[in-house]
Amino acid sequence: MKGYEKYTRQFFEAKPVTMDWRNKTYIDKAPYWCSVDLRDGNQALIIPMSLEEKLEFFKFLVKVGFKEIEIGFPAASETEYDFCRALIEQNLIPDDVTIQVLTQSREHIIAKTFEALKGAKHAIVHLYNSTSVAQREQVFKKDKKEIIDIAVFGAKLCKQYREKTEGHFTFEYSPESFTGTEPEFALEICNAVIDVWQPSENDKVIINLPVTVSHSMPHVYANQVEYMCKNLNNRENLIISLHPHNDRGCAVADSEMGLLAGADRIEGTLFGNGERTGNVDIITLALNMYSQGVDPGLDFSNLPEITEVYERVTRMHVYERQPYSGKLVFAAFSGSHQDAIAKGMKWREEKGTGYWNVPYLPIDPTDVGRVYEADVIRINSQSGKGGIGYLLETQFSMVLPAKMREDFGYHVKSISDHAHKELMPQEVYDILMRDYTNIETPLAVTEAHFVQKDGIKAYVSGEYNGKEFEVSAKGNGRLDAVSNALKAVVGDSYSVEVYTEHALEVSSKSHAASYVGIKSAKNGKLTWGVGIDTDIIVSSVKALVSAINRMKD
């Protein structure tokens, strides 16, 4: 691909680093979570949320369990200001939830921000300025000292306004575009802010290290985070926060590695909404932890509901393959996957094991409000007998004999292949009913009765190719006797090879389902038929007749 020469690596390696984090293999406790859906997420929407939608979303974020929620940039617009006031004045912020507001380092903006917060019991005031080489040179045209002055100026003002405002306010500082900033300079500017704010045990400061734009592989970011954690002043009174955007598709990896490298807090959004490629998806991060046995402290047990609210208020769409949330992520189309899942489920049921390790399903779909039957088995031309059999058994109580599953599987796959579409469970069932069950042409049995004397004798009447018949024959069971009698009508062209049956509940009436496999005398092929009736004998006769009718030369 042409043009790559114009790109250069824009990241900065932190040195020295020990990479202590690289020997850790999982995150053992949940970080502090901060939702930035209502600020970073909202500012990136084609149509930003209305006040009502923001209020609904705020309440929803609280319900999910967020304790810190960035609600906007109150000095930036009237809507943002009004939203902040509405939350405070309508008493909508639970005591254990802290709102966070963003501000630039300018006096009138800081003043307006504190005005917006009047009456709040507590809040996080989030100060930021851009520190990257690109922004310093191209946007602000300022040197490093001047950029530090901006941050220190804002930090001092925040302190002054905090003293004048009632309430408990925590400070957060972000060297915006941290990943495009030399780590030594990021450290210097953060330390300058920390020196102004003088954090203490009861007044911790949040230092947020945003991947405003992603320039590197995640381990480079982890090293930058580790470098900051090890060299920031007053580390014990700091909360190190991460705010990864997803330009390289690495926001989740950046967050996870950054946590391993010593960070304590994550700012992100539901489904990763946010500027450009979005912020880190907190659902994925949290469920990644959950799937390794760590309680994330957020409740994602009803993802369909969360998806519905999110799609409605943001007018965004959750991608079908979005981890954990997408419509297709608990679906298996491939036959071998379906088979393995069906076997895994059965194994789990039989062994009663507490741990989840079903093949192809990283978590139990029911833990996040999804359903196996509807979600897991998806039927198309790639599907296999295992999945189709499992679907019929779990959703329609039809337990096909193993060999018949194979035959029916091919039949369904070829229909899907020709129609070039996925088949829904009901369509699969309908195919079984239409093509295999109670087939009555050209042969139909209208009556069969039995006399038990020296074995069983069947008296069978019916119609074959439009002509009525009455025949009888003996056999070593009822079905065998009927089969022998029918051979006088259709010819001695087959033998009954498989017969199974089971009870079936059909709309509160008890029925029986029978499955008969007959072998052609000519070519040795098995043909299957299904019978359903309230009478078990009748159902077996119907299955046999269906098989005969389906048999091809």
**Using CB under 5 A as the criterion, which residues of the chain lie in contact with Zn ion when the complex forms?**
40
Q: Binds 136, which of Zn ion, ligand KIV, none (CB < 5 to 8 A, cut-off by type)?
A: none
* Residues of this chain, 139-178, that bind ligand KIV according to CB under 6 A: 174, 176
Which of these segments, 52-60, 205-213, 286-294, 406-414, binds ligand KIV (CB under 6 A)? 205-213
Residue in 37, 40, 256, 281 binding ligand KIV, rule: CB under 6 A? 40
Q: Which two tokens stand for residue 309?
A: 């609210």
Q: Binds 174, which of Zn ion, ligand KIV, none (CB < 5 to 8 A, cut-off by type)?
A: ligand KIV
Minimum distance, C-beta of residue 195 to ligand KIV, in the bound complex (Å) = 21
* Residues of this chain, 108-137, that bind ligand KIV according to CB under 6 A: 128
Q: Which residues pair with 130 in a beta bridge?
A: 176
Other CB atoms within 10 Å distance of the CB of residue 453: 8
Which of these segments, 106-114, 204-212, 432-440, 485-493, binds ligand KIV (CB under 6 A)? 204-212
Q: How many whole angstroms separate alpha carbon 277 and alpha carbon 269? A: 12
Quote the strand ranges of 201-297, DSSP E. Answer: 205-211, 238-244, 265-268
Residue 210 binds to ligand KIV (criterion: CB under 6 A): yes
* Residue 37 DSSP class: I
Q: Binds 172, which of ligand KIV, Zn ion, none (CB < 5 to 8 A, cut-off by type)?
A: none
* Residue 379 DSSP class: B
- 3-state SS record for 124-181: EEEEEEECCHHHHHHHHCCCHHHHHHHHHHHHHHHHHHHHHCCCEEEEEEEEECHHHC
Residues near ligand KIV (CB under 6 A), total: 10
Helix (H) or strand (E) segment spanning residue 224: helix 218-231
Long-range contacts of 24-28 (CB under 8 A, 24+ apart): 24/260, 26/292, 26/294, 27/256, 27/259, 27/260, 27/289, 27/292, 27/294, 28/294
Residue 215 binds to ligand KIV (criterion: CB under 6 A): no
Minimum distance, C-beta of residue 215 to ligand KIV, in the bound complex (Å) = 13
Residue in 243, 265, 370, 542 binding ligand KIV, rule: CB under 6 A? 243
Other CB atoms within 10 Å distance of the CB of residue 106: 15
Q: Which two tokens stand for residue 480?
A: 């065998």
Minimum distance, C-beta of residue 174 to ligand KIV, in the bound complex (Å) = 4
Which of these segments, 207-215, 216-224, 303-311, 327-335, binds ligand KIV (CB under 6 A)? 207-215
Q: Is 295 exposed, middle or buried (0-12, 13-18, 19+ CB in 10 A)?
A: exposed
Minimum distance, C-beta of residue 126 to Zn ion, in the bound complex (Å) = 11
Residue in 212, 382, 383, 514 binding ligand KIV, rule: CB under 6 A? 212
Contacts with ligand KIV, residue ranges (CB under 6 A): 40, 102, 128, 174, 176, 208, 210, 212, 243, 245
